[in-house]
Amino acid sequence: MPRPPVCESSVAQANDLGITMHHNHLNFARGRNAFARGTRFRPGWAMHTLVLAWGALVAGGMGLVWQYQHDAGTLHAAPQHWPADSSLRPSPDRWTLVLFAHPKCPCTRATVGELARIIHHGGDRLQAHVLFVKPRSCAMQPDWEHTTLWDAAKRIPGVSVTADVGGDEAHRFRAATSGLVLLYDPAGNLKFRGGITASRGHSGDNLGRTTVARFLTHGSTDVDRTKVYGCELGIELEET
């Protein structure tokens, strides 16, 4: 029950006992009503607290998802000129693009989709290779690399799809993250390295795809690298 207010004048000390009893009764009634109201709304407050707690959990979960989606992979310095010992042969009169991918990386599906868009708009100026890295530990497993992601890459017109058994080419080009794209000009000089998605598994307009497209149409751009989003290829490389 709430405390009665402290009297600041002699009115509270009136000799009229009836008035005093009446005031006490009113104060008691007010306190009882306040208690009843508090008791009645306790379930509502509990639900309100539960909703707030649930909202906090959802926000925290969304924050973790956002952090994972925007957690970029390792981007090493690739060879500035096409490696002479590579089993791949660059085009002498077109741009050459190499995409390194893990066949079981769900994030790279969006990258393959972005590559299809690049080919659709500039395929006549581009020779493209998709290399699916197959660890040596899986070398004895037939068709380990032949996943739906492999099939999606094979459906892109004019794209060469091969397995990089043991990761020899990944070592040669210093690729550590699935989704890495390297773009070399007709003279064999590296012009771009990075990813062509805005985050893990995210399709849509992004700086990487725009940069590659601009190289194909204009021959130059101010951007030479972007972040790459994808799973690790399992290739051990020294940091650069």
Q: Which of 59-73, 93-107, 124-138, 224-238 has the lowest mean pLDDT?
A: 59-73
Does 125 share its domain with 162?
A: yes
Does 61 share its domain with 111?
A: no
Does 112 share its domain with 30?
A: no
Residue with tokens 């009229």: 16
151 has a pLDDT exceeding 50 = yes
179 has a pLDDT exceeding 70 = yes
Does 64 share its domain with 101?
A: no
The span from the CA of 87 to the CA of 216, in Å, is 24
**Can you give the pLDDT at residue 240?**
53
Higher-confidence residue of 234 and 187: namely 187
Number of domains in the chain: 2
Higher-confidence residue of 163 and 56: namely 163
Does 21 share its domain with 131?
A: no
Q: Which of 134-138, 149-153, 174-178 has the lowest mean pLDDT?
A: 134-138
- Number of neighbours of residue 37 by Cβ within 10 angstroms: 9
For residue 44, give its domain range. Answer: 10-68
237 has a pLDDT exceeding 50 = yes
The span from the CA of 118 to the CA of 210, in Å, is 9
Does 148 share its domain with 206?
A: yes
* C-alpha pair distances (Å), 145 with each of 121, 129, 136, 232, 239: 28, 15, 12, 15, 27
Does 45 share its domain with 109?
A: no
